[in-house]
């Protein structure tokens, strides 16, 4: 228990027989219950967890009959947290990469009522780029963060791919989890969902850990970005339509669509002018018209982004 709030730890895990034990052995007394969600592992992870359960009665094993993805594993844990009436659900990986010494950073804003959801920011802890984070991952993280900022409307956050999070039971109950992405890529997708539900999201510092000799992340950065990007584009338009048209109409709805349309039209027209420049005559009027279309589209888009930032300030403590 932390300051009168019952805390549950949710650990989605798949084939983590090597690292799940040290992860569980380092759970502090602050945590009242530990839900390990086995996403149909094929190694001996279940046996390792059952061994720990004999010593630590807080640990409960939840099993999926088939592999459903890390997102669904977390949702399974969330549902059990609500069912058993714990106040806060903290999520960490089963790879011993998230230090529970940082746990108070995640719990304090929730207990104080400042936020509904807290997420780790390794860059905030390091006050810059963590020296243990590989350059390739820094680049991938930065690109994905930029995409997530734009898609979700949470413009003040960073390190959006960090899976170390905490959420209140009330926030879990407010969200329709059937709309949530169930596999890898859930972290950015859920931020879009949370924005539509007006959940207050706050970045908190947490240290980055990379164990020597352990390959903890098997994600291919380039392939991951290509896989996530189309989903985030779709989610952006979903957020735009739901939040700024259906829930409460806002001028930025028109500015976003008009800006994107004019910018796209200007680019297509510009390509045509460039091709015509090699094959025939291009009038000055065509060039001026295209320039005006591009500039107007860009201005509308920038205004829309500005309004989006302003509109979401109140849910970014």
Could you give the 3-state DSSP secondary structure of residue 50?
Answer: helix
Residue 74's pLDDT is 98
The CA-based dihedral angle spanning residues 234, 240, 242, 243, taken in that order and rounded to the nearest 10 degrees: 140
Query: How far is the C-alpha of 78 from the C-alpha of 74, rounded, in Å?
Result: 6
Query: How far is the C-alpha of 32 from the C-alpha of 75, rounded, in Å?
Result: 19
Residue 219's pLDDT is 64
Query: How far is the C-alpha of 122 from the C-alpha of 161, rounded, in Å?
Result: 10
Residue 70's pLDDT is 95
Q: What φ, ψ does residue 300 adopt, rounded to 5°?
A: -60, -40
pLDDT-flagged residues of the chain (< 70) = 126-132, 211-219, 280
Could you give the 3-state DSSP secondary structure of residue 281?
Answer: coil
Residue 281's pLDDT is 74
CA atoms within a 13 Å half-sphere pointing along the CA-CB vector of 4: 3
Residue 212's pLDDT is 66
**pTM (two decimals):** 0.91
Query: How far is the C-alpha of 43 from the C-alpha of 172, rounded, in Å?
Result: 31
**Which residue is it, tokens 């392939």?**
223
Could you give the 3-state DSSP secondary structure of residue 47?
Answer: helix
Number of CB atoms found within 10 A of residue 174's CB: 13
Q: What φ, ψ does residue 123 adopt, rounded to 5°?
A: -75, -35
Token pair for 159: 């390190």
Backbone region of residue 99 per phi and psi (left: phi > 0; alpha: psi in -120 to 50; beta: other values): beta
Q: Which residues pair with 202 in a beta bridge?
A: 118
Q: Which residues pair with 5 in a beta bridge?
A: 2
Residue 217's pLDDT is 56
Backbone region of residue 214 per phi and psi (left: phi > 0; alpha: psi in -120 to 50; beta: other values): beta
- Angle at which helix 186-196 crosses helix 135-152, to 10 degrees, equals 20
The answer to whether 177 touches 190, Cβ cutoff 8 Å, is no
The answer to whether 264 touches 236, Cβ cutoff 8 Å, is no
Residue 173's pLDDT is 98
Percentages helix, strand, coil for the chain (3-state, rounded to 5) are: 55, 10, 35
Length of the chain as a residue count: 317
Query: How far is the C-alpha of 10 from the C-alpha of 86, rounded, in Å?
Result: 11
Residue 222's pLDDT is 80
Could you give the 3-state DSSP secondary structure of residue 154?
Answer: coil
């Amino acid at each position: 228990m932390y300051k009168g709030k019952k805390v549950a730890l949710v650990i989605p895990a798949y084939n983590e027989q090597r690292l799940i034990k040290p992860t569980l052995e380092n759970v502090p007394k602050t945590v009242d219950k530990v839900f390990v969600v086995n996403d149909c592992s094929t190694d001996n992870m279940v046996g390792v967890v059952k061994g720990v359960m004999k010593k630590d009665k807080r640990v409960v094993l939840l099993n999926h009959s088939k592999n459903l993805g890390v997102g669904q594993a977390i949702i399974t844990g969330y549902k059990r947290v609500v069912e058993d009436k714990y106040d806060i659900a903290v999520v960490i990986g089963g790879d011993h990469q998230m230090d529970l010494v940082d746990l108070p950073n995640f719990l304090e804003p929730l207990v104080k009522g400042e936020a509904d959801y807290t997420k780790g920011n390794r860059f905030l802890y390091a006050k810059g780029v963590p020296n243990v984070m590989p350059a390739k991952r820094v680049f991938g993280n930065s690109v994905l963060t930029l995409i997530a900022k734009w898609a979700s409307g949470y413009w003040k956050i960073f390190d959006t791919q960090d899976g170390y999070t905490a959420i209140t039971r009330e926030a879990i109950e407010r969200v329709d989890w059937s709309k949530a992405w169930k596999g890898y890529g859930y972290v950015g997708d859920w931020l879009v969902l949370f924005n539509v539900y007006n959940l207050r999201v706050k970045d908190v510092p947490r240290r980055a850990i990379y164990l020597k000799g352990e390959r903890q992340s098997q994600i291919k950065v380039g392939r991951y970005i290509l896989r996530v990007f189309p989903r985030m584009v779709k989610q952006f338009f979903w957020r735009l339509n739901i939040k700024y048209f259906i829930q409460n109409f806002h001028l930025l709805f028109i500015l976003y669509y008009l800006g994107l349309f004019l910018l796209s039209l200007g680019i297509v027209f510009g390509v045509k002018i460039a091709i015509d420049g090699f094959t025939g005559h291009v009038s000055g009027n065509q060039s001026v018209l295209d320039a005006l279309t591009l500039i107007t589209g860009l201005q509308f888009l920038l205004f829309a982004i500005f309004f989006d930032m302003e509109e979401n300030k109140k849910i970014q403590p």
